[in-house]
Structure 1
Amino acid sequence: MQDAPPSPLVIGIDVGGTKTRLRALIGASTVADHVRSSSGWRPHDPEAAARWLTALVHETLPAGARPAALAVGGHACETPRQCAGIAAALHARLRAPVRVVGDAELLVPAAGLTEGVGLVAGTGSVAVGRLADGRPVQVGGWGAVLGDEGGAAGLVREAARALWAAHDRGEPPDALATALTAAFEVAEVPALGAALEGVSDVSADWGRHAPVVFAAADAGSVLAAEVVADGGRALAGLVARLAARGLAVDDVVVAGGTILSQPRLYDAFATALAAALPDARPRPLRDPPVDGAVALARSLL
């Protein structure tokens, strides 16, 4: 009786906007589970992205270990051409089957599903899915300056806009005005414009102040409550946009630190989703997205 062949080594990598997680497994046994900063990730330069990922693999795996398959979910990997370029450059270095997708595409396989929509509302926001022929579709995710409604940075931007409109109407400052001016260390609402424009990293520096919007809503600010409700409706609108393009949206896997840590936003999203798409089921993701990358890597074998 021959011994069973050894199980292959598979690697899944989730490159997020802030941190990156790599999981490597042989069968059910974990070989590596490593978290590091995403600093240096350059997804718009395929060769640079492949070098960065190769270095991560080599510094994480035991000496001499060779992957049989690898899948990557990459932050800001926004088009099939871009992802394919990174995959080709990475394959040339590792000589193993490689698949690269946008990081939001990890959510559906991480939830143990084969089809559905992934919705992320963290610092930014995006929704992704695949058509029946396998082509990926992404909506949203256009950055905090012009988009990312329902994400942390977008909520702060819309809170400032709501305060300016209230100021123009001659309304006195409310709890949102007090909280947001304090967060940006300015004395009054009109000064928020220069403060928002003067940050070095729009997404991060705006997004980190999102908790004050929720706190103001909880304290009774009607403006803040409306901003959060609008954010939830905008997130539901991303899913509706995918449905209008013919994607299956029965299961909507929801992830992101903002929406999963803020029940007010999640409830606004779920309510708007039920109104727009009654058959769609929101499913908060409880497992790490890197599990989706591992599932995609195993599918390559």
Structure 2
Amino acid sequence: MQMDALQIGEAQVTRVVEFAGEVGLSTEAFFPGSDPHLWQQASDWLVPDFVGPDGQVRTAVQTWLVRSEGKVVLIDTGLGNDKDRPYVPVWSRYHSDYLAQLAAAGVTPEQVDVVVNTHLHLDHVGWNTRLAGRDWVPTFPNATYLVHRADYEFWDPQGPHTPGFGRGNQNVFEDSVAPVAAAGQLHIWDGEQHRIDGTLTLRLAAGHTPGSAVVDLRSRGEAALFAGDLLHSPLQIAHPDVTSCFCEDPARAAESRLRLLADAADRGALVLPAHFHHRGAARITRTGGDFTVSGWAAHSPQQPMR
């Protein structure tokens, strides 16, 4: 699989795709309550890259590999292998060549310094751990894993919370988060932001989950925003009030999305969502309160893994 790197100031960004394709959700199911006419009006630029001709959403599960200030940083870790996901059969006991793709990008697990989990959904933490015999162990033995406290507490099955996506995320905390904490590699951050280094900052962008975060990259006058799940479709750039079925607090997610788009447009920052199929990174402009995609970064289309 071809992988292309982007240069953002002195930071290099590589896209590592674990899954690309359809997961059996129509635009109506994925974005409940959205106006069907919006999708029809946008079909000329959404089909076939982001929506199939049959109205099925096309998505990707991917990691953004960032080389920054001599460190190797992974933003989200995808699905993982061998994970039991009883309520998400398309990704249960999934197998991919993710580690081989990292190797092709010049990175071994031992070389990863920082793992950012923008939030704790199953498709963002899977490769946090790997199966060693009968035990889940950290895949990246020398890395510090970063998770916001609000998400850690919200998804802890021993805690008091009942997430809306609870059954869909079954087993995730136990097999992909708790083993990292037990190994002493988990750093739980609090508040509105956390500085990773002089180039990368985590910023709280709650709504999709209580501890959802955006990674803000600034280097040599250039900028990028790794948006996590604030955006699942480019339609949400033009219509920020359109929210996915996976958001715990849809209204707050829409507010965070609007702030992200305004920030990206005002600063000229490239936006890199976690799930955009085909083209992975967008440039945003705005006229008044209206946002549009003014261009795409030169990442090549990715082919489905299965």
Q: Shared fold (TM-score greater than 0.5)?
A: no
Considering fraction of residues, name the structure with more strand.
2
Q: TM-score, normalised by structure 2?
A: 0.29
Considering fraction of residues, name the structure with more helix.
1
Q: TM-score, normalised by structure 1?
A: 0.30
Higher relative contact order (CA 8 A, sep 6+): 1
Give the structure with higher Rg (CA): 1
